[in-house]
Amino acid sequence: MTEAFFTGVAISFSLILAIGAQNAFVLRQGLLRQHCFAVALFCALSDAILITAGVSGLSWFIGDLIKVYSFWTFGLAAVWLIIYGAIHLRSAFRQNQLLLHDLQTERSLLSVLSTAALVTFGNPHVYLDTVVLIGTMSLKFLPNERVLFALGAALASVVFFFTLAYGAQLLAPKMTSQMTWKILDIVIALIMFALALCMLSAGGWFNY
């Protein structure tokens, strides 16, 4: 029984540690000290829902659906990632006044959670990781053990997102210079562009 739980924890951590749009958004909110608890909770609960869906058997349907429509699914995701990266790249080269305005002005909770929903559910890899891969891995366990497997995977997500959000919050006092924020936004933009290329490759766009 404990094997199922800790296997879920290990698999979830290994998948979630990769830097993506969702992680970058949580990190930035933590550094801005804006709605950290709500953002971390939303991302953790979203993962828990998707993990539960995968372990419950939805993995087969989602896996087939993404496979059939992979060309357009990953293509649209790549476009979204490019736009998201461009926004951060633009942010990196804005005037000082605009940067200071962003740091001093707190966005509404609804606006922040809307962006969190977009970076969470707008990425096909979220479904591949949580629903398809974790859901498929759960099949090696007995039905009652799958509950512990799902709990372990969900717990890993909770620990990760809250650690990321509040760990970033501790670093916030060091993020006072414009150059530091420029570097952060450029790094996030480059990561988004790299992920977009991976999406296009996964969708077979380079085969044409």
Tell me which residue has tokens 């699914």: 73
Tell me what the mean pLDDT of segment 53-79 comes to. 72
Confidence of residue 40 (pLDDT cuts 50, 70, 90): very high
Tell me what the mean pLDDT of segment 120-146 comes to. 80
Given this model, what pLDDT does residue 138 score? 80
Given this model, what pLDDT does residue 176 score? 61
Given this model, what pLDDT does residue 127 score? 80
* In contact, 147 and 56? CB cutoff 8 Å: no
Confidence of residue 36 (pLDDT cuts 50, 70, 90): very high
pLDDT above 60 for 102: no
Structure tokens at 71: 């060309």
* In contact, 164 and 45? CB cutoff 8 Å: no
pTM of the model: 0.74
Percent pLDDT > 90 in the chain is 21
Q: Rounded to whole angstroms, how far apart are CA atoms 84 and 55? A: 31
pLDDT above 80 for 70: no
Mean pLDDT score of the chain, rounded to an integer? Answer: 80
The candidate with the shortest Cα–Cα distance to 37, out of 153, 151, 150, 169, is: 169
* In contact, 20 and 161? CB cutoff 8 Å: no
